[in-house]
Amino acid sequence: MVCRNPKTAEEAKGEITEASNNQNVHLHILDMSVPQDVYKFTQTFMEQHDQLHTLVNNAGCMINTREVIAENLEKNFVTNTLSTHILTTNLIPLLKKSEKSRVVVVTSGGMLVQKLNVDDLQFEKMKPFDGTMAYAQNKRQQVVMTEQYAKQYPDVHFSCMHPGWADTPAVRNSMPDFYNKMKDKLRSPSQGADTAVWLAVSPAALEQQSGLFFQDRSPAAAHLPLAWTKVCTKDEENFMTLLNDLADKFKA
């Protein structure tokens, strides 16, 4: 478990240990909004372990005001996109050492309203700043990242998924108006996690093509019909180059 909040992380660890009767549950405290720490974590993890079977990228945030942190980078982008990229790519050597290894990225159907925007990764041109749309753009970026990882690392199985709208503290805190209108129709956290767990452990998931977007255990379209959210291959490659260049700045 890689978690930001020590208190809630220990509570979750205790619940998992009790429910599974498995003491082999380990906790690492890491703030994904601090890319230097993410890089250091990957280095330490690789020194302490000789393989990694499954990585589930679930950490994320939706901040409704534009916050600039390390290297003049916007916080939503750092947490949702850049640090996910650093964590994933730096752990690829361990994943390659494990047979049938996989990476699951928890994204969002909100990305369906966004076209990849390579020209404004830090939302400097977004006037006024809209945290919901910034989050949706980050989630579109995660879908592109998943597709590109699948091409670059054929020895690892990649997938991303939309959990559906679930009743979680993140939804309540970041989208209070949406929550109040939809709270009676939201999924439980367990229902939201179902596809991520299936992608992480099911043999059937490995029979699916690497790099796909899933909802309810099935591949789903990453673009709505006539939505004009597709970009050319060059834009996707430029995006990955920019990510790599930014990630390199935080190498120890």
pLDDT of residue 61: 93
Question: Is residue 149 among the annotated active site residues?
Answer: no
Q: How many residues are there in the chain?
A: 252
Residue 172, domain extent? 52-248
- Predicted structure pTM score: 0.92
Within the chain, residue ranges assigned H as helices are 6-20, 35-48, 75-77, 83-90, 92-96, 131-152, 169-174, 176-182, 189-201, 233-248
Q: Is residue 176 part of a domain?
A: yes
Q: Is residue 232 part of a domain?
A: yes
Neighbours of 97 (CB within 10 A): 14
Tell me: the pLDDT tens digits for 75-127?
Answer: 999 999 999 999 999 999 999 999 999 999 999 999 999 999 999 999 999 99
Residues 6+ apart with CB under 8 A from 158: 102, 103, 105, 146, 149, 150, 210, 211
135, 149, 153, 179: the catalytic one is 135
Q: Is residue 26 part of a domain?
A: no
Query: Dihedral (C-alpha) 177, 65, 247, 112: value to the nearest 10 degrees?
Result: 30
Q: Is residue 153 part of a domain?
A: yes
Q: Is residue 46 part of a domain?
A: no
**Cα 34 from chain centroid (whole Å):** 15
pLDDT of residue 252: 65
- Could you give the number of structural domains in the chain? 1
Measuring CA to CA, how many Å separate 241 from each of 118, 188, 246?
Answer: 10, 38, 9
Q: Is residue 104 part of a domain?
A: yes
pLDDT of residue 71: 86
Q: What is the largest CA-CA distance in the chain?
A: 51
pLDDT of residue 193: 92
For position 127, which CATH number holds?
A: 3.40.50.720
Among 50, 156, 41, residue whose Cα is nearest residue 104: 156
Neighbours of 163 (CB within 10 A): 22
Q: Is residue 148 part of a domain?
A: yes
Q: Is residue 25 part of a domain?
A: no
Q: Which residues of the chain have pLDDT under 70?
A: 166-184, 252
